[in-house]
Amino acid sequence: MPVEAYVPPSLGPSTLTTTESARQRLRQCAQSGLLRIAVDKRSGGFGDGFAALVDAHAALGRDTRDPGLVLAINAHLWGAVYPLTTFGNDEQRARWLPGLLDGTRIGGHAITEPGAGSDVQAMTTTANRDGDGFRLNGHKRYITNTPIADVMIVYARLDASPGLAGFVVEPGDAGVTFAAEPVVAGCRTATMGDVILDDVHLDASRLLGSAGAGGTMIQSALERERAYIFAGILGVMQWQLAHVVAFARERSVGKGRLADLQAIAHRMADMKLRLDTVELWVARCAALSDAGQRLTLASAQTKLLASEAFLQSSLDAVQIMGARGLESGMSTLVEDAMAGRLFSGSSEIQKNIIGAVMGIGLDTRKERG
């Protein structure tokens, strides 16, 4: 199937931030099959690989130039679909996966709290055993897809132990509030909000994976999120460079074209190098995933390099376009790229992970990743 087939033809760019448009755009992607790529057949996916996923997500990024949509799709895929396919039992998979794959249900994952961002171990949301189930209390913040989510994988500290556990939470559960704030600058077309758990009783069927495995589940989901979110961003960067080159060729300065000024050409050469390097790193992650290998190091390297590259290229694009860069949607990509240095673990945390893999810079604290 050609990769363009996964991108709904009517989707196009969006600046809308209503929850209805966000839900609608995700559903359109689902209807084109985008959410079934690299999902095994037993779970209802196509049973194809990550190279196909990268191609399709890059095509989506090129066509929509919408990092918010890319973020929303990846929160859905790695936050909810992946843990259910990987850690869910048969009953859980049958209950939640069909809707998540056909887009009638939207998902995400809730890790961050007002007092616990990079430092996952500072998490204070609790899950205490209560009869045959669990009682959850806590507050999650900056959670992508919250206002439109039907399923949220929520992580909590289990029975006051150091161990974490993941739970499937629905907005209709008694004591649960999926609040529509706050929305940050950057990736505004993705919806965001707080998940508040006030004495929420969940029966045992909502525990995902084994009790205490939550930390591993978070790491495993984030490894994939931080690699493949940049497949979509790669497409946005491809559009960005093509747009800027076309602009610079058309724009006259003095007796020539903007594109012929060496200072401008050098900026575009740097953008091209960054773009091609991001493509190589994302492809490396796909090759590792397709070979069934761990992504810990490669996804941290990819996220660090790609998020910084996207920010620098977005700044360059605005500068090359002059005031038109601020007038057009190009400058909103700068904010999107700033968000990209924070979500799924900040640039500093990626450096900590890379250092830890090398056995250096080891901190006594456990951070996101």
The residues binding ligand FAD (CB under 6 A) are: 75, 108-112, 117-118, 142-144, 184, 186-187, 339, 342-343, 345-346, 348-349, 352, 363, 367-368
Q: Which residues pair with 179 in a beta bridge?
A: 194
Element at 152 (helix H, strand E): strand 151-158
Give the nearer residue to ligand FAD in terms of CB position, either 267 or 303: 303
For CA atoms 283, 285, 286, 287, give the dihedral sign: positive
For the bound state, the minimum distance from the C-beta of residue 339 to ligand FAD, rounded and expressed in Å, comes to: 4
Give the nearer residue to ligand FAD in terms of CB position, either 8 or 193: 193
Q: Which residues are catalytic?
A: 225
Give the nearer residue to ligand FAD in terms of CB position, either 231 or 264: 231
For the bound state, the minimum distance from the C-beta of residue 85 to ligand FAD, rounded and expressed in Å, comes to: 18
What's the distance, Cα to Cα, between the start and end of the chain in Å? 34
Query: Is the Cβ–Cβ distance between 270 and 90 less than 8 Å?
Result: no
Residue number of the CB atom closest to ligand FAD: 117
Give the nearer residue to ligand FAD in terms of CB position, either 202 or 349: 349
**Residue carrying the six token digits 């609040």:** 179
Give the nearer residue to ligand FAD in terms of CB position, either 154 or 275: 154
For the bound state, the minimum distance from the C-beta of residue 79 to ligand FAD, rounded and expressed in Å, comes to: 6
Query: Is the Cβ–Cβ distance between 132 and 204 less than 8 Å?
Result: yes
For CA atoms 319, 325, 329, 331, give the dihedral sign: positive
Give the nearer residue to ligand FAD in terms of CB position, either 142 or 247: 142
Give the nearer residue to ligand FAD in terms of CB position, either 209 or 345: 345
Q: Where are the alpha helices (DSSP H) in the chain?
A: 19-31, 50-64, 67-76, 82-87, 90-102, 214-250, 262-290, 296-321, 323-327, 332-340, 347-357
Q: Which residues pair with 73 in a beta bridge?
A: none
Helices (H) and strands (E) in the chain, counts: 11, 10
For the bound state, the minimum distance from the C-beta of residue 186 to ligand FAD, rounded and expressed in Å, comes to: 6
For the bound state, the minimum distance from the C-beta of residue 94 to ligand FAD, rounded and expressed in Å, comes to: 25
The two tokens of residue 194 are 């707080």
For the bound state, the minimum distance from the C-beta of residue 187 to ligand FAD, rounded and expressed in Å, comes to: 5
The SS3 call for residue 26 is helix
Comparing CA positions, the residue from 43, 129, 132, 116 lying closest to residue 81 is 43
Query: Is the Cβ–Cβ distance between 167 and 138 less than 8 Å?
Result: no
Reported residue count of the chain is 369
Longest dimension (CA), the chain: 80
- Distances 187 to 56, 118, 210, 325 between C-alpha atoms, Å: 20, 19, 33, 18
For the bound state, the minimum distance from the C-beta of residue 204 to ligand FAD, rounded and expressed in Å, comes to: 24
* Residue 126 DSSP label: E
